[in-house]
Amino acid sequence: MPSQDRVALREAITSLPAYVPGARGGVGRFSYKLSSNENPFPPLPGVLAAVADAAADLNRYPDMYAGELVEAIAALHGVKPGRVVVGNGSVAVLEFVLDAVCETGDEVVYPWRSFEAYPIVVSVAGASGVPVPLLPDGRHDLDAMLAAVTDRTRAVLLCSPNNPTGPALAGDDIRSFLAAVPSHVLVLLDEAYTEFVRDPRAIDGVPLVDDAPNVVVLRTFSKAYGLAGLRVGYAVARTRLADGFRAASTPFGVNALAQVAALESLRERPALLARVDELVAERDRVTSALAAHGWDLPDAQGNFVWFGLGERTSAFAKACVEEGVIVRPFGAEGARVTIGEREANDVVIDVARRFLS
């Protein structure tokens, strides 16, 4: 029984795992920050100009449902605007998707290790999380995830490319998975890093929405578009589901400057994707150099690489910090390193080389 002399918090809240953001550099010392999967390029000049112009109207509420942005996203994907729901980052969209479908006692299956927010948003929605370990190569174990589906399962989360390990899900594998999952179970495909994927077998989730009514695809402007500081994400789903997600969303959830920045970024998409190509080329240079030094890493399809270091994780992270680079350690499992400036990447390559010598 909770104490009668103070307000009690829900047990699901008090038992939540903490979300650990990427570390930042200490005061007075320059460090490259490769711990948060940020895009190292600044916003394009046109995006900055559009945001500066919009700042003059900060005394006004934004468009509640971001209608112009929704129409632009829908046009990009060739879907009707009613199928697009926007929010304050793809994490917020995931939150109100789960809020819209989960009841107390429901279960949500997700891969682990994967995006740190999954167990948090599942618990806040009132459901129970069912984490399924990854395969040794950092990929989803889809057979085990399918076996984890029970009559209590309300949703399954998939992450492609998987954060933090890197591999993308193959289209054929996902289509087989969907054929076996009960049609009343929601399948959320988190594609936050999809613009960085170059594996020709990888899934493009949006077309699946036409084929499978229980599929929802999550995307973001934080990574490839470089708008992490403004927080814009969206879901693509069947209209009936999208209406429910929208009803559960936070009113005015995407601020005015974020809407303008995302809209202008879509207008300048070719220039932004050229930057993505540069980052992919740098990612491939880094992984090739690491392979030449003897590292056998998971297939990197995002803007990051994963070092499965086990008990040596903290030592690796400390060695990187000593050389002026901050990476993201995950306990005694491994470290994720974002692809950043070439100079920073070269430091990581050198530290990793010495770790194997």
Which CATH number covers residue 50?
A: 3.40.640.10
Identify whether residues 39 and 50 lie together within a single domain: no
Q: What is the CATH number of the domain that holds 312?
A: 3.90.1150.10
**Domain range for 327:** 11-43+268-356
Verify that 282 and 253 share a domain, yes or no. Answer: no
Written as six digits, the tokens of 131 are 């984490």
Q: What percentage of the chain has pLDDT greater than the value 90? A: 90
Q: Are residues 156 and 116 in the same domain?
A: yes
Overall average pLDDT of the 316-330 stretch: 96
Q: Looking at the chain, list the stretches that DSSP marks H as alpha helix, in order from N- to C-terminal side.
A: 11-14, 45-54, 67-77, 90-101, 117-124, 142-147, 171-180, 208-211, 239-248, 256-267, 269-292, 313-322, 342-356
C-alpha closest to that of 341 among 282, 270, 277? 282
Inside any domain, residue 6: no
- The two three-digit tokens of residue 307, written as one number: 């070092």
**Whether residue 202 is found in the same domain as residue 123:** yes
Q: Do residue 55 and residue 202 come from a single domain?
A: yes
The least confident of 10-24, 52-66, 136-150, 307-321 is: 10-24
What are the structure tokens assigned to 336, written together?
């994720």
Percent of the chain clearing pLDDT 70 (strictly above):
93
pLDDT tens column, 23-53: 555 544 568 999 999 999 999 999 999 999 9
Task: Using the predicted structure, report yes or no on whether residue 9 has a pLDDT greater than 90.
Answer: no
How far apart (Å, rounded) are the C-alpha atoms in residues 58 and 262?
17
Q: Are 121 and 201 contained in the same domain?
A: yes
The secondary structure of residue 104, as a DSSP letter, is: T
The owner of tokens 């150099």 is 289
Examine the pLDDT at 1 and tell me if it is beyond 60.
Answer: no
In a domain, 144, yes or no: yes
Q: Are residue 71 and residue 176 in the same domain, yes or no?
A: yes
Q: What is d(CA 129, CA 122) in angstroms, rounded to the nearest whole number?
A: 6
Tell me the pLDDT tens digit for each residue of 257-298: 999 999 999 999 999 999 999 999 999 999 999 999 999 999
